[in-house]
Amino acid sequence: GESVGLHLPTLSVQEGDNSIINCAYSNSASDYFIWYKQESGKGPQFIIDIRSNMDKRQGQRVTVLLNKTVKHLSLQIAATQPGDSAVYFCAEWLSNIPTFGRGTSLIVHP
């Protein structure tokens, strides 16, 4: 797929484990953040978002944590499944356009 060959950090986990994907953002004035998932052969898909007035937000099997002090975001996926294998991007909104990070490739081994 398109993610193969991308020079990305890679996280390999076993099915059923929890995964933590990290992202450092660049601008301390950014106040809205999104995580996207890109499966092989597809475009990025929205997973979860968080505003800067929050430290944590939970979705279905996913949790996003925001640490504004160190400009760091993390995406936690509980009970990781093979279908979670994808490239994960964080994006920050400073102006009216989201700026994407380089992404992390998550590989889930059955």
Partner 1 sequence: DSGVTQTPKHLITATGQRVTLRCSPRSGDLSVYWYQQSLDQGLQFLIQYYNGEERAKGNILERFSAQQFPDLHSELNLSSLELGDSALYFCASSTSTGKGEKLFFGSGTQLSVL
Residues that bind partner 1 (CB under 8 A): 2, 5-7, 31-32, 34, 36, 41-46, 49, 89, 93, 95-103
Distance CA 67, CA 55 (A): 7
Q: How far is the CB of 93 from partner 1 (least distance, A)?
A: 5
Distance CA 77, CA 16 (A): 10
Closest by Cα among 19, 4, 6 to 106: 19
Q: Which is nearer to partner 1, 69 or 96 (CB)?
A: 96
Q: How far is the CB of 22 from partner 1 (least distance, A)?
A: 15
Distance CA 74, CA 24 (A): 9
Q: Which is nearer to partner 1, 2 or 55 (CB)?
A: 2
Q: How far is the CB of 48 from partner 1 (least distance, A)?
A: 11
Q: Which is nearer to partner 1, 17 or 22 (CB)?
A: 22
Distance CA 107, CA 110 (A): 10
